[in-house]
A and B are shown apart, each in its own frame.
Chain A
Amino acid sequence: MATTKSDQLHGTLDMLVLKVLAGGPQHGYFIATRLDQLSSAVLQVEEGSLYPALYRMEQRGWISSEWAVTENNRRARFYKLTRTGRRQLDAETASWARLSAAVASVLNS
């Protein structure tokens, strides 16, 4: 029923978000700018899509959130990686490595 294309997209986005959060708790805007820098032109996603994705990951227990104050003294919602989330990131990184190695070997052969 649900299209696999958007599933892949979700999966990739999730993995990148987890990767960003592995560096420490961050708010949505910071995550968005980091994603922008990391993927530069490759990922053409509306920044807004990040928020439903964050909420989904929070419900899955990968991240947790709380309201805190930024260095500019603004109230923002900070997300941080949970233990489940770290395991998820490890698993996804591993499987991504396997997949890209496989793809690379196919392309190089």
Chain B
Amino acid sequence: MRALRVLRDRIRALVGRDVVADEIHEEVQFHLESRIRDLERHGLSRAAARREALRKFGNPSVIEDRGYDVRGGGLMESIVQDVRFGIRLLIKQRGFSFVALTTLALGIGATTAIFCVVDAALIRPLPYDKPEQLVRFWVSERGAPASDRFAASMVHMDGWRQLTDIFSGVGTARSESKTVLAGSEPDRVTVQYVTVDYLPIYGRRPVLGRAFVDADEQLGAPPVALLGYRYWQSVFNGDPAVVGRSLRFSNESATIVGVLNDDDSRIQAKIWMPLQATAERRASRQYGIIARLRDGVSITQAQQALDALPGIDWPDASDSAVFGPVLISEFDSARQYARTTTNVLLGAVAFVLLIACVNVASLQLARGSARHTELAIRTSIGAGRRRLVRQLVTESVLLSVAGAVLGTVLAWLILDTLVANIPLRIPADVRVTLNLRVLAMTGALATASGVVFGLIPAWRSSHTDISSLLARTSRGARTTLSRAAGRSLIAIEVAAAVLLVIGAALMVRTFAHVSAMPLGFDPDRFETMEVAPVNDRPEVFGPYYTALLERVRALPGVVSAGATNRLPLSGGSSFITVRSKSIAKPVVIQLVTPGYFETLGIPLVAGRYPEGRDLDSPRWIVLSQEAAAALFPGESPLGQPVEFGGDWRDVIGVVPKVESRGIDRPLDTAQVYMSASARPLTNFSSTGQISGQALTIVVHAKSGTDAVAVALRDTAKSIGPAVIVQRIRHGREWWDDSVVTPRQRTVLLGVLGGLGLLLAIVGVFGVTSFSVARRVPEIGVRLAFGAEPRHVVGAVVLDAAVPIFIGLAAGLLAAFFLTRAIATFLYQTTPRDPVAFATAAVLIATGGLVAAWLPARRAAQVDPVQALRAD
């Protein structure tokens, strides 16, 4: 009730000020006139009665105003007044407003943008229905702690498929590049061969036609295909009549049976076909097997059920070792991957925001001090303390809201750039945007910071004795308070900046190490060309690459050329178990032609490189040093046989390790190079040529990159069969693409670190400038008594140096414990890297002292006469 009454009065006061004011006026007039009439009745003259009535009543206009305040006109009116006054003040104090708004906009903008991305990356790490049900099968030795995890075979998968009370589906996929003759031109597309369960596990179902059925998976079943939705839209114009039509590849054709629902970023393919595997292929252990848990089955329960089963058939196992499946949650892996990055980003941006807020707080403090006299006078002429606090908080919230608006605009401007450069996997169907959640956070942030920073000067003003302030005799006491506050603010922001700069320095060090990483090959000396004939039958591929290499080697300026199925640093790798006489070892396998090692600049450790005469021989193999040491401990591998897939090949050479998987996940597994003349997993081609698989050509040429590229493209097209040249890249570009993630992390943390440093410097500068301005009279006295200007400068700088070094020490100490958070981002750099710590310390100390020295220098130029007169 009361609240309603108050509200009614306030609204009336706001919308119809005159009504309330008129009522009060009328009431007061009635009172005065009644009094005058009574007094006249007692015999006073009209004038005397009037004087007496007023004497008894007090000042009517003051009473009316107080009444108006009580009846609620006051609050609303004064808020409007405060906002107006605040805006006028912000416009007047341009320097203050500019620095404060820029600081807030940068802090809030960075926070908002990062928050948007984190929101998208964490809320939907896997864009599937019930993603926590997705698990991946691995195989490891039972009871062996920290044993290696191996990929399983389809034969194993067939066993797990029977466990229908645990899994709603178990499946696998294999992708292959194929030439399809569907659009206007032949196109090489990725075809995913999947088992029947695979697509339902990911919630993919046909929007048109039918899904795959068990019969499609049988060997010899008529080939069928599903189209990806986007592929269907772009190549077939979304024509529903495609179902039942034939899809032509260069070497076969398949009946289109349907169109799948929308693609997502994780399992992408334009065309899907059933995986029809031969017995040999089913037995090979190289499949990523994925499963979906039934509703209500936890991963722990599933693992327990699997552990209760007898061990699986595992050929390499020694007699005593038992192997069994291990389930790893796909959801956890994806979240884990995102979690580290998002935590680090949120942490870093929180520090930037902290520095920004501390900056604004110190600016407010300085401004509050400068306005002390104004506030004191207002108090003395009757402004209530609450009223002053309200005004200061209003001004501060105004500033924060303006900062938040600018920050949001900034976030909106940088968001696309950020998303394109962030080392996070964001599902393609999640649009990163400023949503309500993010805006609410920004709003809350702005209001909270506004209230807090408004209260700081208000709190200070409420602790000031008015008369002493007006007399300006209490300078000592006052400066102690604000100096302590200013100092702790400096210490806080320096500490936060130290953390940010150390984080950035660690990333820069990491990137330097990554750049200097011994790759095992020289990325600057070769060009790469991904090329494949349109007709991808083995009998076309073999002669084509053979002829192409011959012609490329004959090009002017070409020193050497070779080919491989997979360049180093290209990510994924296939593990295959090979064995010497007595030892079996999983290795990373790669197919190469003669000329490959020379072209990439991979040195020879022992034996010989494959030569021209080895081109059509499948019988040679080259080992990395690790593979040689593992397979032939204590003896020379040269000339020794290595078994793989039932065939024996002779070791002809040993080369050093080459970084094969990618820089952000270096691999210590042994590497084995086989002749591209033989395909793994299938019979040798007996054509005496390179076998039928798409290869990447590598060329070391003396002439310029562009000229080589043109010559390569022309040569590739001049052989005979129609070809698709996918990409021609210099080795260095290839390397650049492989270090995208470390580079993005470096740039991102570098920018945040730089922002932190800059804001901290602005903060130190602001606080010191303010302290110098306040100490002008004191400095004037000192100078008048003959103090050397450089001593004055020294004293001011020293004054700021104390909190700077306290903050520095605190920041270094905190970093000592906190940098572990980014340990997984680091390469050959420990989280407590002394160089990074030292660099950050020097940067911050220098920046801070320069920021303190600039205003100090101004202090020394104070004119003593003017400084003293001003007081």
Chains A and B form a bound pair:
yes
Chain B residues near A33 (CB-CB < 8 A): 38
Q: From residue 67 to 117 of chain B, which have CB atoms closer than 8 A to chain A?
A: 67, 69-72
Nearest Cβ distance between residue B203 and chain A, in whole angstroms?
61
Q: Does A80 contact B (CB under 8 A)?
A: no
B9 nearest CB neighbor, chain A only:
A59
Q: Does B158 contact A (CB under 8 A)?
A: no
Chain A residues near B1 (CB-CB < 8 A): 61
The 8 Å CB contact of B30, one of A52, A56, A58, A75, is A75
Q: Does B550 contact A (CB under 8 A)?
A: no
Query: A48 with B60: in contact, given A1-B386, A74-B30 (CB under 8 Å)?
Result: yes
Cα of A74 to Cα of B30 in the assembled complex, Å: 8
Count: A-B pairs, CB below 8 Å: 69
The 8 Å CB contact of A48, one of B26, B28, B386, is B28
Stretch in contact with the other chain, from B51-59, B224-232, B700-708, B793-801: B51-59
A54 nearest CB neighbor, chain B only:
B67
Q: From residue 33 to 87 of chain A, which have CB atoms closer than 8 A to chain B?
A: 33, 46-49, 51-52, 55-56, 58-61, 74-77
Using CB atoms and an 8 Å cutoff, list the residues of chain B in contact with chain A: 1-2, 5-6, 9, 23-24, 26-28, 30-31, 34-35, 38, 56-60, 62-63, 66-67, 69-72, 385-386, 462
Chain A residues near B72 (CB-CB < 8 A): 59
Cα of A46 to Cα of B32 in the assembled complex, Å: 13
The answer to whether B27 and A51 touch across the interface, beta carbons within 8 angstroms, is yes
The answer to whether A46 and B56 touch across the interface, beta carbons within 8 angstroms, is yes
Chain B residues near A56 (CB-CB < 8 A): 70
A-B CB contact pairs (8 Å), 20 listed: A1-B385, A28-B27, A28-B30, A29-B34, A46-B56, A47-B56, A48-B28, A48-B57, A48-B58, A48-B60, A48-B62, A51-B27, A51-B31, A52-B67, A55-B67, A56-B70, A59-B5, A61-B1, A75-B30, A77-B30
The answer to whether A52 and B66 touch across the interface, beta carbons within 8 angstroms, is yes
Cα of A1 to Cα of B28 in the assembled complex, Å: 30
Q: Does A32 contact B (CB under 8 A)?
A: yes
The answer to whether B30 and A55 touch across the interface, beta carbons within 8 angstroms, is no
For B24, B34, B38, the residue with the greatest tally of chain A CB atoms inside 10 Å of its CB is B34
B389 nearest CB neighbor, chain A only:
A1
Chain B residues near A47 (CB-CB < 8 A): 31, 35, 56-58
The answer to whether B30 and A51 touch across the interface, beta carbons within 8 angstroms, is no
The answer to whether A51 and B28 touch across the interface, beta carbons within 8 angstroms, is yes
Task: For the A-B complex with A47-B31, A59-B9 known, give 16 more contacts whose Cβ atoms are closer than 8 Å.
Answer: A27-B30, A28-B30, A32-B31, A46-B63, A48-B59, A51-B63, A51-B67, A52-B67, A55-B71, A58-B5, A59-B2, A59-B71, A59-B72, A60-B2, A75-B26, A76-B30
Cα of A59 to Cα of B71 in the assembled complex, Å: 8
Cα of A51 to Cα of B31 in the assembled complex, Å: 10
The answer to whether B27 and A61 touch across the interface, beta carbons within 8 angstroms, is no
The 5 residue pairs across chains A and B that have the minimum distance between CB atoms:
A46-B58, A48-B63, A48-B58, A55-B70, A29-B34
A45 nearest CB neighbor, chain B only:
B58
Cα of A55 to Cα of B24 in the assembled complex, Å: 10
Chain A residues near B2 (CB-CB < 8 A): 59-61
Q: From residue 1 to 21 of chain A, which have CB atoms closer than 8 A to chain B?
A: 1
Nearest Cβ distance between residue A87 and chain B, in whole angstroms?
14
Chain A residues near B59 (CB-CB < 8 A): 48
B386 nearest CB neighbor, chain A only:
A1
The 8 Å CB contact of A52, one of B31, B57, B70, is B70
The answer to whether A29 and B35 touch across the interface, beta carbons within 8 angstroms, is yes
Chain A residues near B58 (CB-CB < 8 A): 46-49
Chain B residues near A76 (CB-CB < 8 A): 27, 30
The 8 Å CB contact of A59, one of B23, B34, B63, B70, is B70
Nearest Cβ distance between residue B105 and chain A, in whole angstroms?
36
Chain B residues near A46 (CB-CB < 8 A): 56-58, 63
Cα of A53 to Cα of B30 in the assembled complex, Å: 17
Query: A61 with B5: in contact, given A47-B57, A52-B66, A55-B70 (CB under 8 Å)?
Result: yes
Chain B residues near A75 (CB-CB < 8 A): 26, 30
The 8 Å CB contact of B24, one of A29, A49, A51, is A51
Chain B residues near A55 (CB-CB < 8 A): 67, 70-71
Cα of A77 to Cα of B28 in the assembled complex, Å: 10
B24 nearest CB neighbor, chain A only:
A51
